[in-house]
Amino acid sequence: MSITRRIFLRNSAMAAVGTAAIPSFLTRAAYGAVESGTRTKRLVVIFQRGAADGLNIVVPHGEPAYYAMRPSINIPRKSVIDLDGFFGLHPSLAAFQPLWNQRHLAIVHAAGSPDPTRSHFDAQDFMESGTPGLKATDDGWLNRCLHDLPAPADKSAFRAIALGPSLPRILSGSEPALAVNNVNDFGVGGRGANATPMSNTFEAMYAQSVDSVLHGTGQETFDAVRMLKSADPSKYKPAAGADYPKGRFGDSLKQLAQLIKANLGVQVAFADIGGWDHHVNEGSTQGQIANVLTEFSQSLAAFWTDLGDLREDTVVVTMSEFGRTARENGNRGTDHGHANVMFVMSGPVKGGKVYGRWPGLNQSQLYEGRDLALTTDFRQVLGEAVYSHLGNRALSEVFPGFENQPGKFLRLFA
């Protein structure tokens, strides 16, 4: 199939490398997208590993009990970025304020997994499998959500990607997925003193690799390596105003923006950020939680700016395995809790609003007498994104055993 000038100029990846190096799946995907006028819808999932303290992230500053239970780690009212007179953002989330004001950011409070476990491992596993309380699930819900999505005849190798050294639980399953460790570091075959001479074929290089950039199988992986090398990603420049902070999370989102903007057919993507398990000296407006929130929010805000017009086709959802105790402990920290807060960032989201029913923090309202009670199952939020944005109507397959019909949605999207 020949590529017209119109298609060539519209596809930034092709414009960067010329037609000679383009894998066939990209030729057909680009041609089909232009001729049909369709645009790729994508879902990006961010996991805050370690159980983030939702009460100090989106602060219920209108709740007197909040201040009574957290005498040394509360966020003072004068420091809170007020949202609606009751809830406010931690001051380290200042990068989110413009998104909130522009109604591109929605918040769901008292959300999370209904399973009562306080084990990091089990809770993360349940949220990635999408089947809380059931350990026998083999695959991840983000992989399953691809089953009934329309896709090109030749699926892009980048259709499902994770930013990191290995494929996470959430993307394991029958649909092909890749883990992209560093698109700017093509060390297939080793680096330094132990480097292996360049092979004549990418297939051989892949077979010999001990630290390959892409982790996947099949010809699609070789096509992906070939395309990335041809595009020379080390020369990528973020859009004006996109200032990614230094660190693993910022680097991951910068690389994700690069892959999306290269028009490689990304439909679902995953990245994570650790450092949320604050049992000791959590801090308030300064300290551990303030530091990780700065990295978290500035990275996501830069990613959002970098996407430009592609924001209209992108939904970003954040989640953490569970929240923290309502009361601070004796070490000026918090212990493993229950409900938490989720962010939804999108062009079509009905933002500038805190969704979900607030259960209250009085003693009689706490879960097991110690935690924020859960009023919104995380699968409601994710299910609505899968159904309304991606267009997958088979939610019973994505989240088996969970009643998740449109009538129960929070109406997050226009």
On average, the pLDDT of the chain sits at 85
Domain ranges of the chain: 44-184+236-408
Q: Which residues have a Cβ under 8 Å from the Cβ of 64 and sit 6 or more positions away? A: none
Reduce the DSSP state of residue 32 to 3 states and report it: helix
Residue 258 has pLDDT above 60, yes or no: yes
Is residue 297 within 8 Å of 95, Cβ to Cβ?
yes
Furthest-apart CA atoms within the chain: distance in Å: 69
Task: Region of 239 please: left (phi>0), alpha (psi -120 to 50) or beta.
Answer: beta
Q: Which two tokens stand for residue 179?
A: 């883990």
Q: From 3.20.20, 2.60.40, 3.40.720, 3.30.310, which CATH number describes the 44-184+236-408 domain?
A: 3.40.720
Q: Quick one: pLDDT band at residue 153, thresholds 50, 70, 90?
A: very low
Q: How many CA atoms lie within 13 A of 328 on its CB side?
A: 22
Give the position of tokens 């997958």. Answer: 392
Taking 80 as the threshold, does the pLDDT of residue 35 lie above it? Answer: no
pLDDT value of position 116? 97
Q: pTM to 2 decimals?
A: 0.86
In this prediction, residues 158-174 reach a mean pLDDT of 95
Q: Which residue has the higher pLDDT, 364 or 190?
A: 364
The closest alpha carbon to 113, from 277, 408, 339, belongs to 339
Whether residue 163 is predicted with pLDDT greater than 70 in this model: the reply is yes
Pick from 105, 103, 81, 77: which is nearest to 91 by CA? Answer: 81
